[in-house]
Amino acid sequence: MIGKVVGQLACSAELAALRQQLTGVEAERDRALQERQQVLRGNIRVMCRVRPAHQQQQSPSRSPAATAAFGAAHGSCIGYPLEGLLAVHDASTARQREFEFDAVFAPEASQQQVYEEVSPLVRSCADGYNVCIFAYGQTGSGKTYTMDGPADNPGINTRALQELFSIAADEVDHSWSFQVAMLEIYNEAVRDLLAMSASIGGGSGAASAAAVAAAASAHTVEVSGLPAGELPPNMDRVPGLVWRKVSNTAEVQAALREGVRARATAATALNAASSRSHALVSVKVQGVREGKAFTAMMHLVDLAGSERVDKSEVAGQQLKEAQAINKSLSALGDVVAALQRRGAHIPFRNSKLTQVLQDSLSGSSKVLLSRRQWRLLRPSTQEPAAAFEGLSHPLQPHGPADILKDHGVID
Ligand SMILES: Nc1ncnc2c1ncn2[C@@H]1O[C@H](COP(=O)(O)OP(=O)(O)OP(=O)(O)O)[C@@H](O)[C@H]1O
């Protein structure tokens, strides 16, 4: 009797082990498939999210024709003729152009819909790949909303960590750990926001401007410019950076809030707009797969506003800011272009931003850019009515046409 029970136990233990093995094989096959899919879709993907019009620009009673007329009166209107395409009609030149992205989100797209397109990259990070997700666009175009988002409808940052937690919860090995760090890059100086927050009490407003300025300077950190392969395994890209351990959404949101407050406090104390700096949330994932430990990094980046500043109109601090932003955005553009060309030399050293991100931009890392690197498909002089009927959205003053104009894509 005892022998039989033990036999059955052994048998069910074997069955359980076999099932576990099979699940492991299936999970491994799914991961390989997902990786293959990612490689085929390209390691650099570019999506475009169109911000809804502000309230004063919206009218619930506006028909598609009236919407098109509104757009035309404001110089341009936009439409979505096919999946992944954005069409821009510029009324002043009667020109229409189409731009191709990996995905285009219309103004009504929800935070969750945007996140679902990003989610495969987050899953790649849980498979051990380094990942970078950027939001790029003019001031007011919705970068912070997309990355950070309101507390009751969070953006990519919180959703990405939630997904990582849920992946880890389903793993056989429960020794996974997650840490976040927050950095700000302003005028080519890199600041540790969580360290600053600890010095000034989370930016609760109690610290004087002088104390905040002192903290900002004290927590300015060095970045190693060494190429990825030459960085010793025990050396961090940003030595001494404060990493906060997180294991649930509440901890993530508390850390993010602290960093955001420290950034805003520093901006006020230094008399600078926070949109003039790059904000980075870095996530370090340490996990175990098939008995092997791995570390992967994910950088979630809210880039500084990309508007072109006419140098003749700004001076002093604003000019310095504009130059620093231009320098770092063009350095990022050069790096992405070199990666796309698979160039032998990738110019990471040209800015602090690309130095900080270099481990997540090289090798088999995955990169996602929101609003950048669009490919012009075909210019046309079609009337907007046909192309835009039923699809039109008025263009707000800070809408894509302004961005496209800024970059000389349209006149
Ligand atoms: N998809 C959206 N849905 C609703 N509101 C949005 C959306 N995108 C942006 N907004 C709102 O538009 C305003 C500007 O957005 P946001 O602050 O995210 O712009 P930004 O590009 O980060 O600007 P900056 O460069 O100045 O930081 C905010 O009030 C934000 O709440």
Q: 394 CB under 6 A from ligand 1?
A: no
Q: Given ligand 1 and candidates 145, 157, 278, 281, which is best to mutate, with the most ligand atoms within 8 Å of its CB?
A: 145
pLDDT the model gives residue 241: 93
Residues 37 and 148 in one domain: no
Establish whether 137 is an annotated binding residue: yes
The rounded Å distance from CA 312 to ligand 1 centre is 28
pLDDT given at position 399: 41
Do residues 26 and 115 both lie within one domain? Answer: no
How high is the mean pLDDT of the chain?
75
> Has 140 been labeled as part of a binding site?
yes
- Indicate the length of the chain as a whole number: 411
Q: Which two tokens stand for residue 182?
A: 């927050």
23 and 167 inside one domain: no
Domain of residue 198, CATH code: 3.40.850.10
Ligand 1 center to 249 CA (angstroms): 22
For residue 328, the model assigns a pLDDT of 87
| Close Cβ partners of 266 (under 8 Å, ≥ 6 residues apart) | 184, 186, 191, 196, 203, 212, 213, 215, 216, 272
For residue 399, being part of any structural domain is answered with no
- Determine whether 373 is exposed, middle or buried from the number of CB atoms within 10 Å of its CB (0-12, 13-18, 19+): middle
Does residue 371 carry a pLDDT above 50? Answer: no
Give the per-residue pLDDT at 182: 96
Q: Does ligand 1 come within 6 angstroms of the Cβ of 142?
A: yes
Closest ligand 1 atom, residue 148 Cα: 18
**Is residue 60 assigned to a domain?**
no
Q: 9 pLDDT exceeds 70? A: no
Dihedral sign from CA coordinates of 17, 19, 21, 27: negative
177 and 309 belong to one structural domain: yes
* pLDDT of amino acid 317: 78
Same domain, yes or no, for 214 and 317?
A: yes
Per-residue confidence (pLDDT) for residue 354, from 0 to 100: 93
Q: Which of 239-243, 304-308, 318-322, 407-411 has the lowest mean pLDDT?
A: 407-411
Closest CA to 31 of 43, 23, 21, 41: 23
Which amino acid would we find at residue 358?
A: Q
Q: Is residue 290 part of a domain?
A: yes
pLDDT of residue 258: 93
pLDDT tens per residue across span 331-347:
888 888 888 777 788 89
- Based on the fold, state whether residues 170 and 262 are members of the same structural domain: yes
Give me the interface pTM, i.e. the ipTM.
0.98
Reduce the DSSP state of residue 385 to 3 states and report it. helix
Residue 391 lies in a domain: no
Q: Is 385 a domain residue? A: no
| DSSP per residue, 134-188 | EE--STTSSHHHHHT--TTS--HHHHHHHHHHHHHHTSS----EEEEEEEEEETT
Q: Distance, CA 265 to ligand 1 centroid (Å)?
A: 19
Which residue owns the Cα nearest ligand 1 atom 15?
142
Residue 388, domain member (yes or no): no
Q: Any binding-site annotation on 225?
A: no
Count of domains in the chain?
Answer: 2
Tens digit of each residue's pLDDT (9 = 90 or more) over 214-267 = 888 888 999 988 887 777 777 788 998 999 999 999 999 999 999 998 888 888
CA–CA dist 8, 229 (Å, integer): 52
In terms of residue numbers, what domain contains 253? 102-373
What pLDDT does 252 receive?
94
Judge whether residue 324 has pLDDT over 90. no
Instruction: Determine which helix (DSSP H) or strand (DSSP E) holds 211, and give its type and residue range.
Output: helix 209-218
Query: Do residue 289 and residue 150 come from a single domain?
Result: yes
Is the Cβ atom of 144 under 6 angstroms away from ligand 1?
A: yes
Same domain, 20 and 126: no
pLDDT for the residue numbered 373: 32
Quick one: which atom of ligand 1 is closest to the CA of 145?
A: 18
Tens digits of per-residue pLDDT, 150-206? Answer: 999 999 999 999 999 999 998 888 789 999 999 999 989 999 999 999 888 754 556
Query: Which range has the worst mean pLDDT, 48-57, 233-242, 361-370?
Result: 361-370
141 CA to centre of ligand 1 in angstroms: 6
Residue 314 falls inside a structural domain = yes
Same domain, 319 and 228: yes
Residues 9 and 137 both lie in one domain: no
Phi, psi (degrees; rounded to nearest 5) at 321:
-60, -50
- Could you give the CA distance from residue 102 to residue 93 in angstroms, rounded to a whole number? 27
> Which region among 41-55, 69-83, 200-214 has the lowest average model confidence (pLDDT)?
69-83
- Percent of the chain with pLDDT strictly greater than 90: 26
Angstrom distance (rounded) from CA 372 to CA 368? 10
**Distance of alpha carbon 357 from alpha carbon 235, whole angstroms:** 15
Q: Is 312 annotated for ligand binding?
A: no
Domain presence at residue 53: no
> Which protein residue's CA is at the shortest distance from atom 10 of ligand 1?
142
* Confidence class for position 278, pLDDT limits 50, 70, 90: very high
- Continuous H helices in 42-59: none
Domain co-membership, 188 together with 290:
yes
**β-strands 103-105, 95-100 pairing:** unpaired
Would you place residue 44 in the very low, low, confident or very high pLDDT band (cuts 50, 70, 90)?
confident
CA 118/CA 138 separation, integer angstroms: 21
The response to whether 292 counts as a known ligand-binding position is no
Task: State if residue 58 touches ligand 1 by the CB under 6 angstroms criterion.
Answer: no
For residue 44, the tally of other CB atoms under 10 A from its CB is: 19
The sign one gets for the Cα dihedral 163, 166, 170, 176 is: positive
Highest-pLDDT range among 4-18, 26-40, 117-131: 117-131
pLDDT of residue 376: 37
Residues 35, 106 share a domain: no
